[in-house]
């Protein structure tokens, strides 16, 4: 059985919504590739505290690790990497300096995949980009279900004057479609293997909402 190495990564976002990206050093695995800064969890160490320590050691800045954003497990030839990434708050950036990495960039979310990322980080990069796209949806979102009932699937539904906008993120894939009828909505939800009870609940909520708004 391959050894599982648990690591943590920091999603650092500046006031403009740009993401901090770090280039790996020349003397480490995946030299010259990009990653979220962070590192290994030491024995007995709590993941958030490990991340705060690693960022201090690598970038000489103070952060607070907040909400877990993503978990990825990637198998390589000799080991398995389990990466947990956290949204982080920068507490003190005044003494920032690159201690381990070759280079850094603040990147717009929609441009993240223009960089050559470490394979383990790619699913998290894609999730960040997909969430950025979903923010373009306007108001009146009536349903959002994240992970509790749907595994790794996230759903948002918006009632519009003459249509339903369905937005799904599932397994790293982002899908958006404008629909006219409830049967169309049900069919698309079934395509993503959404639980039948969840589908029934969604259909009921959409029907109630459009009746209240007297649309269609």
Question: What value does the mean pLDDT take over residues 115-126?
Answer: 93
Domain map (residue ranges) of the chain: 3-128, 137-213
Asked whether residue 214 carries a pLDDT value surpassing 70, the answer given is no
pLDDT band at 151 (very low <50, low <70, confident <90, very high): very low
Residue 188, judged by CB atoms within 10 A of its CB (0-12, 13-18, 19+), counts as middle
**What is the value of pTM for the model shown?**
0.61
pLDDT tens track for 67-102: 999 999 998 888 899 999 999 999 999 999 999 999
Residue 212, judged by CB atoms within 10 A of its CB (0-12, 13-18, 19+), counts as exposed
Specify the CATH number for 3-128; select among 3.30.530.20, 3.90.79.10, 2.30.33.40, 3.40.50.720: 3.90.79.10
């Amino acid at each position: 059985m391959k050894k599982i190495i648990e690591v943590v990564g920091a999603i650092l976002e500046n006031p403009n919504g740009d993401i901090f990206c770090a280039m790996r050093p020349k003397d480490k695995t995946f030299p010259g590739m990009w990653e979220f800064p962070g590192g290994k969890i030491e024995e007995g160490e709590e993941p958030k505290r490990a991340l705060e320590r690693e960022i201090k050691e690598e970038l000489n800045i103070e952060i607070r690790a907040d909400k877990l954003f993503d978990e990825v497990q990637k198998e390589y030839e000799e080991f398995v990497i389990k990466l947990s990434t956290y949204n982080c708050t920068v507490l003190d950036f005044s003494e920032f300096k690159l201690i381990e990495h070759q280079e850094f960039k603040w990147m717009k979310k929609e441009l993240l995949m223009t960089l050559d990322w470490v394979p383990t980080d790619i699913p998290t990069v894609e999730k960040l980009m997909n969430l950025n796209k979903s923010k373009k949806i306007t108001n009146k979102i009536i349903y959002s279900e994240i992970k509790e009932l749907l595994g790794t699937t996230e759903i948002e539904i918006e009632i519009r004057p003459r249509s339903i906008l369905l937005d799904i993120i599932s397994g790293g894939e982002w899908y958006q479609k404008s629909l006219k009828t409830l049967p169309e909505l049900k069919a698309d939800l079934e395509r993503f293997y959404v639980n039948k009870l969840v589908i029934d609940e969604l259909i009921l909520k959409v029907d109630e909402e459009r009746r209240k708004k007297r649309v269609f």
